Structure 1
């Protein structure tokens, strides 16, 4: 038996260099159990746009709901998520044509930092490498504010973080040079972590809190405006924007 049609759902679209994942997430009221009623995906990125709508139809059918039950659309963007032009085109080509449902941008880097600050009750910085010398940092505070910034290891040179114990530093991925730089500054408690996918089951509870109607403030930019989570646009997207 499918879930009740009257309930609202969030559609989570997560793309990575390796492929595409979709999830339908019930938007329950606070305190109710949260789970994804459906998840599916592809293990390769090539051609994912062509089958996105088909995958979603399968999910809607398996949950016993229709597209009208989807009140929020969360699309992975920016640092920690790779979103090619294919996802935007898939929506533009019309699965939700004629409906007032603007996608909201979400970086898994920011999402993870926000969740960790809440869970630990401490301000958290999460670093993600782009190269061994530079990358990005999501700074999440316990008051609910999350920012995304570019970061270079040279910023740590000549500094001492021994007294900066109020902020927990997490390093996502294999950023060996940054871990060594932190060690040299005397920074306490640097942890190496794995950054989850936006559509990963571990992130679904975070997604529910972010997109829940009447829920917590949205840390990833206003509805329909996904540009704040970009630190750098791809050349393809710049060309597409120039033609619009």
Structure 2
């Protein structure tokens, strides 16, 4: 199966073409842009298809990161994935960013469970635990840093994600654990290829957007 994987959930704008039959990455491009995913994504898809030597009508599945992450970026990626899936008549699946981080760190875990902790800002972290088999043990959640620190103190496994320095100072970071949350596109592709097709992908928001309309300025409907 040929999978087109997309990630716009963080500072990167990334796309990859993956052949699940041979476990081969046919082409991938990751650009760290911070913002402006909507302006970059379509051109990036064209470039990654050219790199893989394939056309869009040869894609058999779309995989996209659905969050948690950038509120606007997630919407861009999900909208693109659903649009391509509808136009091509193929399925689209949503991959959580927490699952991507867990998959990226599984070789380091050496058979231990993984607790993924992403810095959510505003004194909070996004958390989810994955078993040694890579499958989620619980649902993703947003938690205050103080509460997460107490949970981490009792966890016997590998910590991964951008919030690791906030939760356990003595634990060093890996190249994947940077100040910004990043989600390796190869892992997005592999996870997306292995998923069962279900509902259409939709954004995973564990809390509301940072930007909110001002109260008292609503215009009454006529």
Identify the residue that residue 18 of structure 2 maps to in structure 1. Answer: 25
Task: Kindly state the Cα deviation for residue 69 of structure 1 after the two structures are TM-superposed.
Answer: 2.2
**Distance (whole Å) between structure 2 residues aligned to residue 159 and residue 37 of structure 1:** 40
**2:105–2:160 contact (8 Å) kept in structure 1:** no
1:110 is paired with a residue of what secondary structure? helix
Task: Kindly state the Cα deviation for residue 139 of structure 1 after the two structures are TM-superposed.
Answer: 0.5
Identify the residue that residue 3 of structure 2 maps to in structure 1. Answer: 10
2:100 is paired with a residue of what secondary structure? helix
Paired positions, count:
203
Identify the residue that residue 214 of structure 2 maps to in structure 1. Answer: none
**1:170–1:192 contact (8 Å) kept in structure 2:** no
Identify the residue that residue 95 of structure 2 maps to in structure 1. Answer: 106
Identify the residue that residue 224 of structure 1 maps to in structure 2. Answer: 200
TM-score between both structures, scaled by the size of structure 2: 0.69
1:109 is paired with a residue of what secondary structure? helix
Residue deviations 1:167-225 (CA, integer Å, cap 9, x gap): 31415236544214xx7xxxxxx55343473344xxx2x4454233xx4x56xx94413
Higher RCO (C-alpha under 8 Å, 6+ residues apart): 2
Q: How does 1:206-217 map to 2 (within 5 A)?
A: 206-212=187-193, 215=194
Q: Which runs of 5+ in 2 are unaligned?
A: 212-222
Identify the residue that residue 197 of structure 1 maps to in structure 2. Answer: 182
Identify the residue that residue 241 of structure 1 maps to in structure 2. Answer: none
| Greater C-alpha Rg | 1
Residue deviations 1:2-42 (CA, integer Å, cap 9, x gap): xxxxxx311111115534111111112xxx4x342222354
Residue deviations 1:49-74 (CA, integer Å, cap 9, x gap): 24433332333233232223212212
| Counterpart selection for 2:144 from 148, 152, 158 | 152
Identify the residue that residue 217 of structure 2 maps to in structure 1. Answer: none
Task: Kindly state the Cα deviation for residue 107 of structure 1 after the two structures are TM-superposed.
Answer: 2.7
**Distance (whole Å) between structure 2 residues aligned to residue 145 and residue 56 of structure 1:** 29
Identify the residue that residue 131 of structure 1 maps to in structure 2. Answer: 121
**Distance (whole Å) between structure 1 residues aligned to residue 39 and residue 87 of structure 2:** 20
Identify the residue that residue 240 of structure 1 maps to in structure 2. Answer: none
Note closer, same or farther for the CA distance 1:109–1:84 as it changes in structure 2 (3 Å cut): closer
Q: Which runs of 5+ in 1 are unaligned?
A: 1-7, 184-189, 237-244
TM-score between both structures, scaled by the size of structure 1: 0.64
Identify the residue that residue 131 of structure 2 maps to in structure 1. Answer: 141
Identify the residue that residue 4 of structure 1 maps to in structure 2. Answer: none
Residue deviations 1:81-126 (CA, integer Å, cap 9, x gap): 662433344456x555533234322233222224545752121112
What do you get for the CA RMSD once the two structures are aligned? 3.6
**1:60–1:66 contact (8 Å) kept in structure 2:** yes
Q: How does 1:62-81 map to 2 (within 5 A)?
A: 62-79=51-68
Identify the residue that residue 36 of structure 1 maps to in structure 2. Answer: 25
